[in-house]
Amino acid sequence: MDIALLLNIFPTQIDLFFNIRNNQTVYIKSIKIKIMKKFIFTIAILGFAIQGFSQNVDKGKAVYTKTCIACHQATGAGIPGAFPPLAKSDYLNADVNRAIKQVIKGSNAPITVNGKKYTTAMPAQALSDQQIADVLTYVYASWGNKKNTITPAMVKAQRK
């Protein structure tokens, strides 16, 4: 049901009955109805936002499974001495834009993650802006990272 339609179902004054002593009917004044409408609207918006985040994480997990898991492993722990961890990664959590660029362009430069140096090159990934946003949102939502949400617009900005 459309949220706007749902909110318009409530009239300006409502006969809500609560069985309070002697079955009295309690009328809720229009001011309280307005507050109720705002509250319901806010809850609905939050629900849609959480659902959207969840969908991005689910899509991101699928991309991660196809593209990243071989090197960074299912747990995000990486392979010691070869591929850096994404789990609780100080390098990853320090700079979202750097993480986006690394997925887009790859990297041959040595990096230090959680105090350990890694020199294995990371190839550029042939993914769409949406796929990169989804996979990085998944990575940031997993394994003790900062819970950042990456958008396709953020990815597009780093392609320049």
For residue range 61-79, list pLDDT tens digits in order: 999 999 999 999 999 999 9
Mean pLDDT of 122-147: 95
For residues 143 and 75, is the Cβ–Cβ distance under 8 A?
A: yes
| H/E run at residue 28 | none
Calpha distance 73→60 (Å, rounded) = 15
Calpha distance 114→116 (Å, rounded) = 6
- Say how many C-beta atoms besides its own lie within 10 A of residue 111's C-beta: 15
Non-local (6+) Cβ contacts of 107 within 8 A are: 121, 122
Mean pLDDT of 90-97: 96
Mean pLDDT of 39-44: 71
pLDDT recorded at residue 40? 74
Mean pLDDT of 135-144: 95
Mean pLDDT of 97-104: 97
pLDDT recorded at residue 80? 94
pLDDT above 50: residue 57? yes
pLDDT band at 54; cut points 50, 70, 90: low
Non-local (6+) Cβ contacts of 88 within 8 A are: 114, 143, 144, 145
pLDDT above 50: residue 17? no
Q: Which residue has the higher pLDDT, 15 or 50?
A: 50
**Burial class of residue 40, CB neighbours in 10 A (0-12, 13-18, 19+):** middle
Q: Which residue has the higher pLDDT, 4 or 99?
A: 99
